[in-house]
Amino acid sequence: MRVAVVKNILDANSRIAQENRKLFDKLGLTVINLMSSPGAGKTTLLEQMGKHFGGQLKIGVIEGDIQTTLDAERVAAAGLEAVQIETDGACHLDANMIAAAIDGADYADVDMLFIENVGNLVCTAGYDLGEHVRIVVLSTSEGDDKATKYPAIFQGSDAMVITKTDLKPHLNFNTDRITADLKRLQPDAAVFEVAALQGQGISDAADWLLAKRPHRK
């Protein structure tokens, strides 16, 4: 007697993420999943990206928060199209939440969609949302030991954006150390340093994102 073995069954999240990605590709929409600790500066980075790409690209944002619409209001005030997901306690976004969010939105003329995940350096790492690019955002004030202590999120990211570099004179933060730790986990990861409030370093990260676009069309 032979037993039929069905292999590679996708879990529900991966299945929905795959559907999301198909839809994004069909729309020619490049989707970026921004992940970090609370307060690392994802929203400020988005505000600056919006400013940088203004006129050149149409940018959409999905904001994930446990509660409140504070971040969505901030990016909307910066002129970006924002959809808010309130996770009602859940510590990360998942593909199903994204599917629900894009279901009600019109992305026909949007070029790039940023998903700002819940502030959580652990739980967000395990959930594919259907994005094309994963970016881990780390502020200098969090310390240069974080890639070693929270390896999953760094290992799964295409780039690390180090924020709040204007604070470096007041901190013990070694960019070489965190970069070396990141490269051990993910040799191909790009590294950017920004002081977003001052608009510094934004264009390097933005150019890198632009270069990701042709592959999606």
Q: Footprint of a second copy on this chain (CB under 8 A)?
A: 37-40, 65-68, 70-71, 89, 91, 118-123, 139, 141-143, 145-146, 148-152, 164, 166-167, 170
Shorter beta-carbon distance to a second copy: residue 64 or 201: 64
Shorter beta-carbon distance to a second copy: residue 133 or 138: 138
Cβ-in-10-Å burial (0-12, 13-18, 19+) of 26 comes to exposed
Shorter beta-carbon distance to a second copy: residue 200 or 203: 200
The least CB distance from residue 4 to a second copy, in Å, is 32
The least CB distance from residue 23 to a second copy, in Å, is 29
Shorter beta-carbon distance to a second copy: residue 30 or 139: 139
In angstroms, the CA 130 to CA 55 distance is 26
The least CB distance from residue 75 to a second copy, in Å, is 14
In angstroms, the CA 33 to CA 70 distance is 19
In angstroms, the CA 163 to CA 140 distance is 6
The least CB distance from residue 61 to a second copy, in Å, is 16
The least CB distance from residue 40 to a second copy, in Å, is 8
Shorter beta-carbon distance to a second copy: residue 138 or 189: 138
Distances (CA, A) of 196 to 12, 50, 200: 36, 12, 6
| Angle subtended at Cα 103 by Cα 97 and Cα 104, rounded to the nearest 5 degrees | 105
Side-chain-side CA neighbours of 181 within 13 Å: the count stands at: 18
